[in-house]
Amino acid sequence: MNKRPRMKDRYRRFSFLSDVEGMKNALGEMRGLFVSKQPVLNQNARRIKQPNIPDEKWFIQTIKHKVANHPDNAMEYPFYGEPIFEDPLIGFVRGSDPIFDQFQKIIGPHHFTPREIMKWQADNNGVVPPDADDISVVSFVMPFTGRTKQDNASAGDWVAERWAQGRLLGEIFSQTFVREIVAGLMDQGILAVSPDATPIFNKKRYPRVGWASPWSHRHIAYAAGLGTFGMHDFLITEKGCAHRLGSFVVNLKLEPNRQRPADIHAHCLQYQGVSCLKCAQRCPAKAISSEKAHDKEACYEKVAASLKYCNTNYHIFIYGCGLCATGVPCESHIPEATIKKLPG
């Protein structure tokens, strides 16, 4: 369980100073600081033929079990007792998939390929880095609860409290349970790494794509066939776009279990020629338009300003918004009109 003290009966006082885990989470996300020590590869287990090598089914069951039963999938005051996330979606993509080279061209050379991040972990443990085809990425989508979506859909100018809290605690929960899985695999002698829980993870402003991280869970989830991008840049999945995403890399050959649409906007009404732009109407910063789609800089300004708002009003150290992902046709499922257009 994470070390953040659960607030059961009251708000934390002076949250700008006292929400230490919130601050650590923000610094981890932006600067790669305060990440936990990496689990060490069990070299003895590596030499023995393992009887139970985890397969696709194991990863799906394990992640679903974590989300359903983990004590950290839990909100705190004033929503104490509620879960943060509902049943997740899980997908796989092989490290040798050519899409990762395309990401380096489209997003930029700063974006890690699975082999690059795995090499970092292999070097740390003094073993030979595996070939790209012997590596897989496990990607997952954790939908927010109906109450969280409803609250944010009712909010107009600033993120709702349930969404903001879910974003903070959800990130901590996600990192905690991925770390548990990665540590278990490393103990079994299987190299594994959670890229956003390494000191080389940090967000920066890049000339081509603006604010970006070297490991985009969103792009990874697209690569794994879990969804496609909307006008708002959120990933529209079969459970909608109001979610948190995560992914990690393993030295196992896992078979992709979902078909990836070639069109990266296949599930967005507007991109498919069906008039919508409901996300643009929801955005208080006017950061979405038919001409420019998602203006990341305008969005960033609004989201950055929400840190003070959340701190003052919700007593937590987090920024967030997601107003364009709630109260819209793609919030909780793929819009019907775009499903009809998909091949097969």
Least CB distance to ligand SF4 at residue 171 (A): 16
Other Cβ atoms less than 10 A from the Cβ of 284: the count is: 13
List all residues 6 or more positions away from 103 whose beta carbon is below 8 Å from its beta carbon: 111, 113, 216, 219, 223
Of 276, 293, 310, 334, which one interacts with ligand SF4 (CB under 6 A)?
276
Q: How far is the CB of 286 from ligand SF4 (least distance, A)?
A: 8
Q: Which lies closer to ligand SF4 via its Cβ, residue 55 or residue 157?
A: 157
Q: Is 225 in the site for ligand SF4 (CB under 6 A)?
A: no
Q: What phi-psi label fits residue 283: left (phi over 0), alpha (psi between -120 and 50 degrees) or beta?
A: beta
Q: Which of 299, 307, 318, 334 binds ligand SF4 (CB under 6 A)?
A: 299
Q: Pick from 89, 220, 268, 293: which binds ligand SF4 (CB under 6 A)?
A: 268
**Residue 135 and residue 114 in contact, taking contact as beta carbons nearer than 8 Å:** yes
Distance CA 287, CA 281 (A): 10
- Residue 31 CB, shortest distance to ligand SF4, in Å, is 22
Cβ closest to ligand SF4, residue 246 vs residue 329: 329
Considering the complex, state which of residue 119 and residue 302 has its C-beta at the smaller distance from ligand SF4: 302
328 binds ligand SF4 (CB under 6 A): yes
Please provide the DSSP assignment of 29-75 as one string. Answer: HHH--SPPPPPPP-HHHHHSPPS----HHHHHHHHHHHHHH-TTS--
Q: Tell me the residue nearest to ligand SF4 as measured from the CB.
A: 230
Q: Is 269 in the site for ligand SF4 (CB under 6 A)?
A: yes
Closer to ligand SF4 by CB, 237 or 270: give it: 270
DSSP H helices in the chain: 15-18, 20-31, 43-47, 56-69, 99-106, 114-124, 146-154, 161-187, 217-223, 278-282, 296-314, 336-339
At position 262, the amino acid (one-letter code) is: A
Confirm or reject binding of residue 244 to ligand SF4 (CB under 6 A).
no
If binding is defined by CB under 6 A, does position 143 make contact with ligand SF4?
no
Binding site for ligand SF4 (CB under 6 A): 230-232, 268-270, 276-279, 282-283, 285, 287-288, 299, 302-303, 321-324, 328-330, 335
